[in-house]
Every structure is written in C-alpha cells, then in structure tokens.
Amino acid sequence: MSLKSLIRTIPDYPKPGVQFRDITSLLENAKGLRLAVEGLAEPFRGDRVEKVAGIEARGFLFGVSTAISLDAGFVPIRKAGKLPGATIGREYQLEYGSDRVEVHANAIAAGERVLIVDDLIATGGTVVATIELLEGIGAEIVGCAFVIDLPDLGGSQRIETDGRRVVSLCSFEGE
C-alpha cells in the first residue's frame, strides 16, 4: 500500500495554483493510518524519545499516535494565544507578515529528547521556529518526522542543512 496514493490532491485550494495535499483520505483508511504512524515512529525507536511535539493542528493527529507508539509524552505546539497558562513563544516570518508558535513553559524539561512531528513540510518556517523554541528551553531535538514532503519548497533541505535528521514518508515533487 502506498501512502502517497491515499493522499488526495485538491487543485487550486485554498487559492489558484496551489495543489492542496488532503490527509483526510489517509486518516479514513485504517491500514494507511497505521502505516503512517508506524513509519513516523520506527526510525526513532532506538533514540530514547521522551516527548513528541506535534505542530498545530494536523501534527496533533500524527504526533499523539507517534508518541503512544514510542511510549513518549505529547506536547502541542500551538499558534499564539491558544494555550492557557504560562507559555513561551517564537516568532517567525511568513511570505507576508509573521506568525508565532508557543508551548507551555513547563512542557519540556531541559535535556529532554524531543521528536517534532507534523503532517507536511513545505518551506520549513514553522518547523525551524519550533526547533528554535524548543532548543531555547533546553530540549534536545532527536529529529523531525513528516508524512508529506514538498521538496521543491526546500523545507526538508533547510532543516537537514542545519544538521537535523528528517524523515518523510512520501513526497510530491514538481507538483
């Protein structure tokens, strides 16, 4: 079974020229979903992952399952203002403007080994901000895992160039 074949492409969404990769068709397929979760977890089984950080919102779906598979805790990485209580954040630049990711201030202890999970890697801006945020509170980043890579947008290469381990289960090149 090919994970890529379970991901639906919706042309011109949310705007003309964009090929949206819809994971709901993957989530609906029990075997495909299991294959995706196992594919995200397996490369990191020997790395003593203590926490999995999932990036809002689709990263939560795969992150929680991956955390369970690795016998690790789960930490949500959210957009600004979405977490109650004390948070720490990191701003990052978008094509037009900026955004911010946040985590609970006490979610990760210094030295904890963290795997970052999301459904898709495109330009890498959100992931890089997440890495910087977590390292800023003392986390040791074990790697980054994605269901989908859009290599033409350079995100995986950007992260790998910084010496990070990146695992992607499928890619959509030149599309």
pLDDT in tens, the chain (175 residues): 799 999 999 999 999 989 999 999 999 999 999 999 999 999 999 999 999 999 999 999 999 999 999 999 999 999 999 999 999 999 998 877 899 999 999 999 999 999 999 999 999 999 999 999 999 999 999 999 999 999 999 999 999 999 999 999 999 997 5
Which tokens in the block code for residue 166?
């990146």
Q: Is 100 annotated as catalytic?
A: no
Q: Is 95 annotated as catalytic?
A: yes
Whole-prediction pTM: 0.96
Return the pLDDT at 43. 98
Q: Beta strands 19-22 and 8-11: pairing type?
A: antiparallel
Q: Does some domain include residue 32?
A: no
Q: Does some domain include residue 98?
A: yes
Specify the amino acid at residue 172: F
Specify the amino acid at residue 74: F
Host domain of residue 150: 47-171
Given 21, 58, 78, 90, the catalytic residue: 58
Q: How many domains does the chain have?
A: 1
Decide: helix, strand or coil at residue 168: strand
Return the pLDDT at 159. 97
Return the pLDDT at 1. 77
Q: For the domain that residue 70 is a member of, what is the CATH number?
A: 3.40.50.2020
Q: Does some domain include residue 15?
A: no
At 95, give phi and psi (nearest 5°).
-55, -40
Return the pLDDT at 175. 59
Outline where DSSP puts E strands in the chain.
8-11, 19-22, 51-55, 73-79, 87-94, 97-104, 113-121, 140-149, 166-171
Q: Does some domain include residue 14?
A: no
Start-to-end Cα distance in the chain: 21
* Cα 59 from Cα 117, distance rounded (Å): 6
